[in-house]
Structure 1
């Protein structure tokens, strides 16, 4: 495994990007430029935090009880769900949301954008274990561009001779004032699978508000979503391409208590997930020799 010192020598950017080893032994990239701060764990290519310097509080939420550990996912940030979303279609022993968020990724490129934002590109490391779960020839790359906005690009390239089907998500947790005082707009009139209501198909009426556990997969939508947060006096914009599903999720009290890492007793009230996804009706077929890219750009607007 490449050490933090080696990564700093090869990929560090003075005054912008450095690598450190966490107490867990995992390597974390730390970004601090003129526009924003962010941190990303190389295991899972897992963006953990992002805060534009124009914002008094972070935009991406990380649980105060989040733990970094080899082979374990991190609670909060923007987990990469790939190459399937939710439970595996046929193998119940395979991990939910795929293996990408718990395996090593390598840094393959870093740089500075013309506007001063910091760019970091990582590639999933294949192993016997990943090939046993995903026997297709391909690469998975994640590019993260950290500035006043946060841009994430998840690219799957089929390097084999046969088409394959992927499900995927950027499962992003957002910092909010209180779950009972936010609205999510942009999905009015969309059909969604209600996972709390026994996986029934429903239609969204008006803005999304929260008064209990919510787990919905909105389908056939490329719409921009906005989290309207009266408590923190801001709007978070989520604009995407290459994604036709959006998941909106909050665990609420009972489920959060069972998780144990949501930041007890009420950390779950300070987050909501609005995920850019391809799942269920919108899984993606990647033909041989082609690539598919899911792109999301996040921005925050003070009110």
Structure 2
């Protein structure tokens, strides 16, 4: 990794495992942790919230090549399985490699971090704004001579009091692909509830609202540059099969992901760019 830029007073560099640097943010507007591995926002909590906004598994593994379970993994430059090469890693290379920290600064509203990663002809820059609102913007540029398909996701794990008691608004009437069991297209009717494993890819380019009555709050997830919204919770059996998640960890989060599913990939022309953004804020319920 390149030498670190100068850090503002509200940002401290530490290691949570040998050779595994993490930026700790202690700002009047929020607290947060961001790993250079995967440019991964691990934690974020604005001062107005009395409960974490992002879920981070207590069994997460911190080593190069292993994605962190929780926070906001960056799936790039493809989503899920590679569209044509099954030997490639699921969700791309970005979440399992170290990124370069290019800049870090702060002002009264929060902290701004910029990190970069190169894969083949593609360069990714991620801008992370940490304050009362969290914004993560993933910018991709094609430096090659040929068009390249781009998909991916900002795989946000949202902390909840109990997954089976929350609901998601904003998807009513949207077409989605249900990937639990036989892949089936359905239309969302009303609110999304969690009473079983949920793994759905919605054709949706607008915001979604997670309503957590137990915590008396609404988490607003807005996005740009995203034709797909993924909703995921592994439920009981799949959680038990995940070694980096407690058996009952499924109760503590649901995922609302700003995504570009593979079948809706964006074709980047030579010199072309695309930005995928998710913005998260908390409101009282």
Could you say which TM-score interval applies, normalised by the shorter chain? over 0.9
Q: Which residue of 2 aligns with 1:192?
A: 176
Query: Greater shift after overlay, 147-156 or 160-169?
Result: 160-169
The structure in which a higher percent of residues are strand is 2
Decide which of 42, 50, 56 is 2:36's aligned counterpart: 42
**Which one of the candidate residues 263, 269, 285 is aligned to 2:251?**
269
Matches within 5 A, 1:27-66: 27-66=21-60
* Aligned residues between the structures: 285
Q: Residues 24 and 68 of structure 1 are in contact (CA less than 8 Å); yes or no, is this contact kept in structure 2?
A: no
Secondary structure at the counterpart of residue 22 of structure 1: strand
Unaligned segments of structure 1, at least 5 residues:
132-136
Structure 2: distance between partners of 1:190 and 1:281: 16
What 5-or-longer segments of structure 2 have no aligned partner? none
Q: Does 1:166 align with 2:153?
A: no
Q: Please, what TM-score do these two structures have when normalized by structure 1?
A: 0.91
Provide the secondary structure at the position in 2 that maps to 1:11: coil
Q: Which structure shows the higher helix fraction?
A: 1
- The aligned residue for residue 13 of structure 1 is 8
Structure 1 residue 140 corresponds to structure 2 residue 124? yes
2:266 to 256, 270, 284: 284
Call closer, same or farther: CA 1:280–1:203 in 2, change over 3 Å: farther
SS at match of 1:12: coil
**Is 1:106 the counterpart of 2:89 in the alignment?**
no
- Report SS of the residue matched to 1:254: helix
Cα gap change, 1:91/1:281 in structure 2, threshold over 3 Å: closer, same or farther?
closer
CA contact (8 A) 1:226 1:235 kept: yes
Query: Aligned to 2:250, what secondary structure does the other structure show?
Result: helix
1:225 maps to 208
Please name the residue that 1:80 is paired with.
74
TM-score, structure 2 normalization: 0.97
Q: What's the secondary structure of 1:268's corresponding residue?
A: helix
Query: C-alpha displacement at 1:161, in angstroms?
Result: 2.2
Residues 1:281 and 1:265: Cα distance change in structure 2 (over 3 Å): closer
Query: How far apart are 1:211 and its partner, in Å?
Result: 0.5
For 1:126-185, what per-residue CA distance to the aligned partner results, in whole angstroms no more than 9, with x for missing partners? 4xxx54xxxxx2210111000000000000011222211111100010000101100001
Supply the RMSD in Å over aligned alpha carbons: 1.3
Partner Cα separation in structure 1 for residue 231 and residue 75 of structure 2: 15
Aligned to 1:244: 227
Q: Which runs of 4+ in 1 moved over 3 A?
A: none
Q: Does 1:117 align with 2:110?
A: yes
Contact 2:207 2:223 in 1 (8 A): yes
Q: Distance in 1 between matches of 2:54 and 2:252?
A: 11
